[in-house]
Structure 1
Amino acid sequence: MTHAFDDAALAGVLGHMNDDHADDNLLIARAFSPLADVIRADMVTFDGGAGQWHVYTADGGEDVIRVPWPGGPITERREVRREIVALYDAACARLGVAARPHV
């Protein structure tokens, strides 16, 4: 069974990703969505197995994609950041974009 995070963890991570990392959401969506021309992406939820993004395309298409954590299943809130950073790095590699340094 996949780990479910509590409401506080979900709200904190989703708020941070959507408010402070909209460009990272878009990069992840462009790299992992089967849809072409993704112009916006919002992180909508996550669990111990993956993150989910609502993606929007230039032609009005929408989808929700589920992207598994690169390091495998997680159970701790502190692991979420590590896995999102790994997804960001994988997205950059997949798209041929230089990744920024992580602080």
Structure 2
Amino acid sequence: METHQCFLLKRNITVDFSTFEAQLRQQVLGTIGMGFSTLQNLLFNLLDVIVIAVVGFFMLLDGRRLWNLIVRLFPPGLRDNLTRAIQKNFMGFFWNRLLL
């Protein structure tokens, strides 16, 4: 490195590396920030997958009881119609997603 400085000094060439240093610093900090952002997104997506899996598992185990608990909020005459309408709409939604 010293030979390059001597070479430049002998030829009376001045080089200002402060701009290069500032740009390099910005690039490094930007890359580190992007890396942290990517890691954060990956961890949040992993957490979402875990929560969905756990909720899905418990819905498979206790889905009927949970549905009956929710349906109790509605009047007795509306419960059967509500259950059929929601089942029909969900099945239509999933079939459409499957076709797409």
Q: Same fold (TM over 0.5)?
A: no
**Higher strand residue share:** 1
Higher relative contact order (CA 8 A, sep 6+): 1
For normalisation by structure 2, the TM-score amounts to 0.28
